[in-house]
Amino acid sequence: MQTELENLRPVEPLLHARSLAMVGASPKGRWANLIFRNLKRGGYGGKIYLVNPNYAEIWEERCYPNLAALPEAAEHLLLLVPTQAVLRTLEEGAKLGSKAATIYSAGFGEGDDPQSKERARALQELCDRTGILCCGPNCMGSFSVSEGLWSFPTAVPHLRRGPAGLIFQSGGSLGNWVKGASERGLGFSYAVSSGNEVSLDLVDYLSFLVEDPETKVILLMIEGIRRPKEFMALAAEALAKNKPILAVKIGRSERAKRQAISHTGALAGSDEVFDAVCQRFGVVRCPSLEDLLETTLAFQSGRFPCGQRAAIVVNSGGMKGILLDHLEEVGLDLARLSDATQKAIRPLIPAELAVENPLECGVAGFGDEKGFVEIVRLHAQDEGVDLLAIHGELPRHPEKREATLFTTLAATTEKPIIAFSRSTYSLTDESRTFQDQAGIPFLQGIKATLRALRGLGFYTTRRQQGVSPLPPATGKSEDLEGENLNRLAQAHGLTLPRQAVAASSSDAGLEAKLMGFPIALKLLAPEVVHKTELGAVVLGLRTPEEVESQGGRLLAKSRGARLLVQEMVEGTEVIVGARTDPQFGPFLMVGLGGIFVEVLKDVSLRLLPVDEKEALAMLKELKGYRVLEGVRGQPPRDIAALVRAITGLSALFANYRSWISDFEVNPLIVRQEGKGVAAVDVRMIKR
């Protein structure tokens, strides 16, 4: 994917500027006051020039009438001027030698105002022509924490240096989140609010953080991705460097703004495809900003598990009950404790408590420090356990409490250990000091903790699997014509039922008699895509006369059409489809048919290519997966053949994607175990 990274713009002039000019600085301006105060509190070591023709001095600092009056060209301009003055000021700064600017003003492309859109176009042209780099417009600046370059216009606590680098496409959300995260003891390298991204965009900042040695975990709040190919290339690079990306993406309900011809297109909106992107590149998606905070705390320790199997130790039956209520919904993979571990734990907990995972340890969790440490140690040394969560809260009052219990636990293993509470609570200076000394993260809230554990396991698994490249499309157009398409489908595991094509209703009757009854009859015509919706399918025909009668009725619907005579196939209906998303490229969808897909939208998506392991994982994500395993007296279905069909469609579509926009099998009938699948209705839509 290296070719995707050739058009990145450097952000160093913005985040590492050696001099600043606050254009529009004013003692009456709230944002200007806050920015100046933040720069001083952060200890920014570069020059700060104040520019405003109405003042000779502000905040006991000299104020210059314009940029030309400065003793040097300021490397980075902080533009606190009205919208109408932005372009003129930026042009002047670029001519004088300024390299970057942060534009706080709005009015550049928002909404439907044509003047706003024209200003955005002019700003982009100016940046392209002069080479000046801009953060924003309509942003709230950034933090270069270690350098004290805090150009953010809100009051913030003293930021700690740390491993987290942030890019938020919402400035207000960034300021609020940084405050809360700082109070929880999180440390930062850089934080950027990218605004309207007329010049620099999320991908440019992401490239910087992927390469930055201070940044160990990258946090994103995404409204939209302007350069999806570059984003995916950088996500792959971050995964290879073991630098996790955690993301909140708003707009879950938004559907792709295109006409969906196939079910695959109708069911796979932009948000679902972005989920597939996260799956492919190990991006840990968080459902909320609150979850982002808890998950970041879990990741910032730098400890990663070897797998996904979690063990949980609590001291309360009520807490265990809440855990059990949420476990299935979250989808956390629980470890199975070995017989040796269970035997060693048995004498350490009350006899009335079960030795199981999650474990309620009773009195051992209420003051028996030695017993609690031993219980956790036994879990940690179990080869079936990859990561641990234990009940633990931070002190909130000036009480003398040592962190030795948790430091001892952390020293027992290299596996991740996370302490967590039932609910949220406020921290004090004592709390933050205790967390630093303990050496493990303290999370708040049971459900958020479970999702953070799942995120750690998911990230590790994705990193172990790596990213398979999409193979080149070398298929030929003629392979998709007529009987060639049937042979192609068969060769890729999409086994067809017995069938024949008839030009007339009488020929259809003869074919049906040779094939044997019952029979399905379908209309074949270029304009007929969804046969059922158009009444172009008749099922369960049992005599040649029925076939001829229904065949004549179907042929009357379309001039020049033909009839497909097909054996009736019994089994479980599945839909598998592939198409190319305009942003993120080719993907594959699978779901159970009938009510599962039509009403419940029970589907799973992945970017291509999809191998056998990924295909099976997709099936197991479906709420209706147990139907394939066999329920209520129904026999198990041929899951192995279904996996071959899914991977076959992946390979077929990847190879012929230059010629096809959609390829869908609906339904694909999965027969009993060992008897294969039948691609009852194959729909291909050419580009």
**Domains, the chain:** 2-243 (3.40.50.720), 310-445 (3.40.50.261), 498-567 (3.30.1490.20), 572-686 (3.30.470.20)
Does 678 have pLDDT greater than 90?
yes
Res 258: pLDDT: 41
According to DSSP, the residues that pair with 518 across neighbouring strands are none
Share of the chain above pLDDT 90, in %: 82
| pLDDT for the residue numbered 366 | 73
User: Both ends of the chain: CA-CA distance in Å?
Assistant: 25
Is residue 586 helix, strand or coil?
A: strand
Asked whether the predicted pLDDT for residue 92 surpasses 70, the reply is yes
* Radius of gyration (C-alpha) of the chain in whole angstroms: 31
Q: What average pLDDT does the chain have?
A: 92
Q: Is the pLDDT reported for residue 390 higher than 70?
A: yes
Q: Kindly report which listed range (156-165, 612-621, 672-681) carries the lowest average pLDDT score.
A: 156-165
Phi, psi for residue 427 in degrees, rounded to 5:
-105, 155
Residues facing residue 192 across a β-bridge: 142, 167
State the pLDDT at residue 528: 73
Residue 398 buriedness (CB in 10 A; 0-12 / 13-18 / 19+): exposed
Instruction: Output the pLDDT for position 253.
Output: 52
User: Does residue 365 surpass a pLDDT of 70?
Assistant: no
Q: Say if CB 280 and CB 607 are below 8 A apart.
A: yes
The residue with greater pLDDT, 522 or 255, is: 522
Q: What is the pLDDT of residue 3?
A: 56
Q: Is the pLDDT of residue 364 over 90?
A: no
Alpha helices in 99-170 (DSSP H): 114-130
Most distant pair of Cα atoms in the chain: their distance: 100
Query: Is 98 in contact with 127 (CB distance < 8 Å)?
Result: no
3-class SS string, 611-670 = CHHHHHHHHHHCCCHHHHHCCCCCCCECHHHHHHHHHHHHHHHHHHCCCEEEEEEEEEEE
Mean pLDDT of 223-230: 93
Q: What is the pLDDT of residue 6?
A: 77
**pLDDT tens digits, residue range 437-458?**
999 999 999 999 999 999 999 9
How would you classify the pairing of strands 57-58 and 61-64? Answer: antiparallel
pLDDT of residue 267: 46
The mean pLDDT of 109-134, rounded to a whole number, is 93
Give residue 526's pLDDT: 78
pLDDT band, very low/low/confident/very high, at 255 (cuts 50, 70, 90): very low
Q: What confidence tens digit (pLDDT) does each residue in 477-517 have?
A: 999 998 899 999 999 999 999 999 999 999 999 999 999 99
User: Model confidence over 368-380: pLDDT tens digits?
Assistant: 788 899 999 999 9
Residue 631 pLDDT grade (very low, low, confident, very high; cuts 50, 70, 90): confident
Q: What pLDDT does residue 533 have? A: 64
The residue assigned the tokens 């969560």 is: 389
Full DSSP string of 319-330: HHHHHHHHHHHH
| pLDDT of 77 | 98
- On the question of a cis peptide bond just before residue 213, with omega within 30 degrees of 0, the verdict is no
The pLDDT value recorded for residue 506 is 94
Q: Which of 18-22, 30-34, 273-277, 359-363 has the lowest mean pLDDT?
A: 359-363
CA dihedral 97, 103, 107, 109 (to 10 degrees): 80
Distance CA 369, CA 404 (A): 10
The CA-based dihedral angle spanning residues 13, 15, 19, 22, taken in that order and rounded to the nearest 10 degrees: 110
- What is the per-residue pLDDT for 269? 54
The CA-atom distances, in angstroms, between 200 and each of 178, 195, 482 are: 22, 9, 49
Give, to the nearest 10 degrees, the angle between helix 505-515 and helix 544-555: 140
Q: What is the pLDDT of residue 263?
A: 41
> How many Cα neighbours within 13 Å face the side chain of 525?
18
| E-assigned strand segments in 302-428 | 310-314, 359-360, 387-391, 417-421
d(C-alpha 587, C-alpha 605), whole Å: 7
For residues 53-79, average pLDDT:
97
Which DSSP symbol is given to 380? H
Rounded to the nearest 5 percent, the helix, strand and coil shares of the chain are 40, 20, 40
